[in-house]
Amino acid sequence: MVGMPHDCLANPLGAVRLTFEKAVASGYDPAVLQGKDWGTAELFRQFLFDDDCLSQVPMLSPSTLKWVQPNTLVRFRGMIQDMLGNEFYVGAYKDGDTWRTNKFADSSHSPINTSLDMQIWERRLLYCIPVPGQNFWVESLEEAVKNTHTNLISPKREKRPREDEAILGDVDMMREDGLSSEPLTTMPQTVTGGTFSNVSSVPDTEINYFSCRIKIYDTAESEMKLNDIFEFVGVLTFDPEFPVDSVDCDGFTQSICEDELVHLPSSKVSWIHCIIHRKLAVNDFLSGPALELMPNTAKDLREALVGHLTTVLGNDWVAAQYMLLHLLSRVHARVDSVAVGKLSLNLTCLGKDSMSVFGRNLKFAIECLLPFTRTLPITINYLNTISLTPKKDYNTNRLVFGFLQLTEGSHLTIDETQLQAGTLDSTGVDNARVLKNLMESQTVEYDFTYYKMEMPVDVQLLILSEGKSHILPADLVLPFRPSSVEAPLTVDEETLKAWRWYLGMMKCLSHSIDPDVQKVVEDDLVAARRADRSLGSLDFSRLLTMGRLMSISFGESHLSKEHWQMVKELETIRKERLQEI
């Protein structure tokens, strides 16, 4: 247990103790400061970031879990799935005349004698899971920054389509282990029809994969939100005692203590006492800032990407344009209940045949481009059985994961082509309503039994359907017109990286409008409305969102007249297509 003074990696607690002693020596009074940080964070920040040792810290995953030692430094990346509340612990106690601390540890080294002076401090508990819908390449990128200890860590992901493996030979092979391969019984069509054969990465209604519990210190509550992605670096501990605990407690203890832990299988109970954490945005999952933002690079990349999408979409250039805008969209502001910036796309005219070809290609293309994607094939039966929204289970006092608990910036493809006439029961109606809400206001209601809580989300929604989807009113409805069926070309990893970077960076560009362009836009809108009284604020909103996305797709932060013109032309083509039906 006693390590070198500064071996933060193998003996982080030693380092913590050391700093604590130093702090006390220099006047830090544990009784007054209520556990406020005494310099630990600083030490570790320096160690991890300034000395660049972050990559040496093993990443916690099912495979590494087997060999990492308790009480060493580990890190974990995941989404906050649930917050388990606060915990009071003996933060510091007096052992004789010296103060000792329990911070970042589960129990003290010397048995706590109640006659000692002690300080009760507070820490927060979080329950984290790997980001839902994380794509295979995300993990492999992390591996590129290989840490020294590891043998190869298999990326964890639900499953990965077999037929794609050839294409991405250079990516680490997926481990097709038991974790992921149970097919979902609720989706017969994916098994039998085979039209959308790679949907197997769809709904785990339960999270049955790796999860991690985190204890957080010294952090304002407002800093962490549900569904945020964080990287936690901290001390790993196991909780060997608690199985005993839960066996035979009298009723009283059980009901008071009975909290999250009791209901988790014991093998999973590991805790990270977080010392340093940082919030990750989608971009942190992309390979480094390899490229610089130049108007030309953006333009070239855009062209290449549109070309790729065009191929994927059977030579439908218009659809590819729309797809690009769609992939770039994000909710950049919320005004009242209106989510500004969302651009959901509904590709119609996808029959069973075309779906089997294009649906799969498209899905794969999107998976390669965005870090977090999920697919939701809806059928009557499926809607009636699945639980889309997270739900609080008061028996276990846990928030049960629902399909729609997605992190900011996820992409969701909803495949409506399998939907047939039938009766929705109350669950189904509820689910349909939830989806509709998600489309319209980008919010998901979490079910707390006695009330519902609306959580804002930012999810890109793509609907594939045969006719215009009425259950799911998308911002854009575009009839799909493929003219050729080509197998999409293999794309090498470097190009993919560049495209991912492009999508990630452009998405975040800030945007503004010049007064003269604004004038033009306003005039256009007024004129359009005069020509067609049925145009409403929704249509205007859509046009402006498209305008914004169009110009950022060129890497520009101002809307220019040309781009505005392009948007109008696109819309004209789309209108024509709509009328042809």
Question: In the range 163-202, which residues lie near another protein by CB under 8 A?
Answer: none
**Measuring CA to CA, which residue among 557, 553, 549, 561 is closest to residue 521?**
561
Q: Does 85 bind another protein (CB under 8 A)?
A: yes
Token couple for 355: 């779906």
Instruction: State the binding string over 31-60 for another protein (x if CB under 8 A, else -).
Output: x--x--------------------------
* Distance, CA of 238 to CA of 106 (rounded, Å): 9
Q: Does 226 bind another protein (CB under 8 A)?
A: yes
Question: In the range 485-524, which residues lie near another protein by CB under 8 A?
Answer: 511-513, 518, 521-522
Nearer to another protein, 27 or 536 (CB): 536
Question: In the range 401-440, which residues lie near another protein by CB under 8 A?
Answer: none
Least distance to another protein, CB of residue 246, Å: 10
Instruction: State the binding string over 436-475 for another protein (x if CB under 8 A, else -).
Output: ------------xxxx-x-xx-------------------
Nearer to another protein, 102 or 418 (CB): 102
* Distance, CA of 95 to CA of 105 (rounded, Å): 17
Q: Does 82 bind another protein (CB under 8 A)?
A: yes
Task: Kindly tell me which residue out of 46, 69, 98, 113 binds another protein, with binding defined by CB under 8 A.
Answer: 113
Nearer to another protein, 356 or 397 (CB): 397
The secondary structure of residue 59, as a DSSP letter, is: B
Calculate ∠ Cα 231-235-236, nearest 5°. Answer: 95
Q: Does 112 bind another protein (CB under 8 A)?
A: yes
* Binding region for another protein (CB under 8 A) out of 106-114, 313-321, 363-371, 381-389: 106-114
Q: Does 102 bind another protein (CB under 8 A)?
A: yes
What is the number of other CB atoms lying within 10 angstroms of the CB of residue 381? Answer: 16
* Distance, CA of 236 to CA of 271 (rounded, Å): 6
* Residue pair 319/484 in contact by the 8 Å Cβ criterion: no
Tokens 């990750």, residue located: 280
Nearer to another protein, 481 or 529 (CB): 529
**Beta-ladder partners of 226:** none
Nearer to another protein, 7 or 539 (CB): 539
* Residue pair 345/309 in contact by the 8 Å Cβ criterion: no
Parallel, antiparallel or unpaired: strands 373-377 and 410-415: parallel
Task: Kindly tell me which residue out of 204, 228, 284, 486 binds another protein, with binding defined by CB under 8 A.
Answer: 228
Q: Does 108 bind another protein (CB under 8 A)?
A: yes
Q: Does 98 bind another protein (CB under 8 A)?
A: no
Nearer to another protein, 107 or 208 (CB): 107
Least distance to another protein, CB of residue 122, Å: 6
* Residue pair 418/379 in contact by the 8 Å Cβ criterion: yes
Task: Kindly tell me which residue out of 1, 2, 166, 335 binds another protein, with binding defined by CB under 8 A.
Answer: 335
End-to-end CA, the chain:
74
Q: Which amino acid is at 488?
A: P
Q: What is the DSSP string of 116-172?
A: S-EEEEEEEEEEEEPPTTB-HHHHHHHHHT--SS-SPPPPP-S---GGGTTTTTTSP
Q: Does 271 bind another protein (CB under 8 A)?
A: no
Q: Does 270 bind another protein (CB under 8 A)?
A: no
* Distance, CA of 325 to CA of 329 (rounded, Å): 6
Q: Does 222 bind another protein (CB under 8 A)?
A: yes
What is the number of other CB atoms lying within 10 angstroms of the CB of residue 174? Answer: 22
Task: Kindly tell me which residue out of 46, 148, 208, 253 binds another protein, with binding defined by CB under 8 A.
Answer: 253
Q: What is the DSSP string of 210-223?
A: --EEEEE-S--GGG
Q: Does 399 bind another protein (CB under 8 A)?
A: yes
What is the number of other CB atoms lying within 10 angstroms of the CB of residue 356? Answer: 17
Q: Does 114 bind another protein (CB under 8 A)?
A: yes
* Residue pair 143/172 in contact by the 8 Å Cβ criterion: yes
* Binding region for another protein (CB under 8 A) out of 54-62, 87-95, 270-278, 314-322: 87-95
Least distance to another protein, CB of residue 524, Å: 8
The secondary structure of residue 558, as a DSSP letter, is: B
What is the number of other CB atoms lying within 10 angstroms of the CB of residue 534? Answer: 6
Task: Kindly tell me which residue out of 1, 2, 333, 531 binds another protein, with binding defined by CB under 8 A.
Answer: 333
Least distance to another protein, CB of residue 409, Å: 15
* Distance, CA of 30 to CA of 276 (rounded, Å): 21
Instruction: State the number of binding residues for another protein (CB under 8 A).
Output: 86
* Distance, CA of 63 to CA of 278 (rounded, Å): 23
Nearer to another protein, 3 or 243 (CB): 243
Task: Kindly tell me which residue out of 27, 96, 111, 178 binds another protein, with binding defined by CB under 8 A.
Answer: 111
Least distance to another protein, CB of residue 154, Å: 31
Rg of the chain over Cα atoms, rounded to whole angstroms, equals: 26
Question: In the range 525-564, which residues lie near another protein by CB under 8 A?
Answer: 525-526, 529-530, 533-534, 536-538, 540-541, 544-545, 548, 559
Least distance to another protein, CB of residue 564, Å: 11
Nearer to another protein, 88 or 580 (CB): 88
Name 464's Cβ contacts closer than 8 Å, sequence gap at least 6. 346, 347, 350, 355, 359, 362, 413, 414, 415, 416, 417
Least distance to another protein, CB of residue 80, Å: 9
